[in-house]
Chains A and B, each alone.
Chain A
Amino acid sequence: MAKRGAIWPEGRSRRGTRRAAAGRALGTVLHDPVIGVLLLAEVAEILAGDPLVDWLVLLLTAAALGWDRMGRRRPAAGEAVGAPTAHGMLGRYRPPVPAGSEAAAQPGPGWGDRLVPVRLTPVLVIGGLGYTVAAGGLVPFSWPAMVAVAAPGLVGVMSAWRASPRPSAQAAPIHVGGVAAWAAVFVVLALWELGALLLQPSLTMGSPLHPTISVLLDPALGSHLGRSVGFAVWLALGWFLVRR
């Protein structure tokens, strides 16, 4: 008994420490609103009966961001708290450029710190158009179509992970009322879409009476031309976002 009494306090203490550490880690992860939004969207995807790949994208990204955020809370010896660690997914964080420097005032030439060219070149335009024509001809709901989306999509996400923050964007003040107004628009859009989804005969069967955005876009994306235009718009949007 004496031996057990000597062990239990230590075991309880260790469990308590682990629980406290797990609680702190969970708090750290959930403190990031982006992770919260991704997890909420993932739950909505599962409830809507969407395919595994749809919500797996969101879940994996949320997990990677949570892992990265927890890593930043555990600084290595001599590393400042909050500094991105080298163990990130791509682990190539570069410190921000001082706001007043020449490099901060102008985007870097060519590729900069992104995985795609930041300047519009003829090669980029011709290559993008060829890609959209080829991808638009792929059979919907097929693996080749999924790969045609996943390849540029993953490059875009990895580029965002790797890129340094833009000091000008960090410094720009944003009016709280303005943020609330924009947030309201997106929340109302999400609720309107949810209402249409719930008014369908089932979550997986579209209704012409209460069309979701997907149902409204289906006719336009049903042809080779329509899908090619869709790919072009999507790729252009991705390139615009990657450059930011």
Chain B
Amino acid sequence: MSSRAVTIVGYVLIVGCGVVLELAGRLPGSPMPSFGALLGRVMSTRSGRVGVMTGWLWLGVHFLAR
């Protein structure tokens, strides 16, 4: 397997872990929070909301503005 393939498989596995956590969080009675619940908790404070939105702005600048 080439270095490129290993790198891409790594990304896929990490995203896959996120998907598994999300599915686990959506199970009834699961102690695992869904990503939305986690986001809601983080965004319950001003600094959390502004931090998340700044991350979103940074994504736009990084991928779309240049």
- The chain A residues found within 8 Å of chain B, CB to CB, are 32, 34-35, 37-38, 41, 50-51, 53-54, 57-58, 61, 64-65, 68-69, 84, 93, 135, 140-141, 145-146, 148-150, 152-154, 156-157, 159-161, 163, 165-166, 168-170, 172, 174-175, 177-179, 181-182, 185, 188-189, 192, 196, 199, 208-211, 213-214, 216-217, 221, 227, 230-231, 234, 237-238, 241-242, 244
Q: How many residue-residue contacts, CB under 8 A, span A and B?
A: 178
B58 to A58, Cβ gap below 8 A?
yes
A150 to B58, CA, bound (A): 9
B66 to A51, Cβ gap below 8 A?
yes
B40 to A181, Cβ gap below 8 A?
no
A237 to B63, Cβ gap below 8 A?
no
A166 cross-chain contacts in B, Cβ below 8 A: 40, 43-44
A149 to B41, Cβ gap below 8 A?
no
Asked if B61 is at the interface of the complex by the 8 Å CB criterion, the answer is: yes
B40 to A58, Cβ gap below 8 A?
no
Q: Total interface residues on B, using CB and 8 Å?
A: 44
Q: Contact check: which of A34, A140, A182, A234 meets B38 at CB < 8 Å?
A: A182
Closest CB of chain B to A168's CB: distance in Å? 8
19 A-B interface contacts by CB (under 8 A): A32-B47, A38-B54, A41-B58, A140-B65, A145-B64, A150-B57, A163-B49, A168-B40, A170-B44, A174-B33, A185-B14, A185-B18, A185-B21, A188-B17, A209-B3, A221-B64, A238-B56, A241-B39, A242-B53
Closest CB of chain B to A49's CB: distance in Å? 13
A93 to B46, CA, bound (A): 10
Q: Contact check: which of B37, B43, B60 meets A174 at CB < 8 Å?
A: B37
B52 to A61, Cβ gap below 8 A?
no
B33 to A175, Cβ gap below 8 A?
yes
B60 cross-chain contacts in A, Cβ below 8 A: 149, 152-153, 234, 238
A216 to B8, CA, bound (A): 9
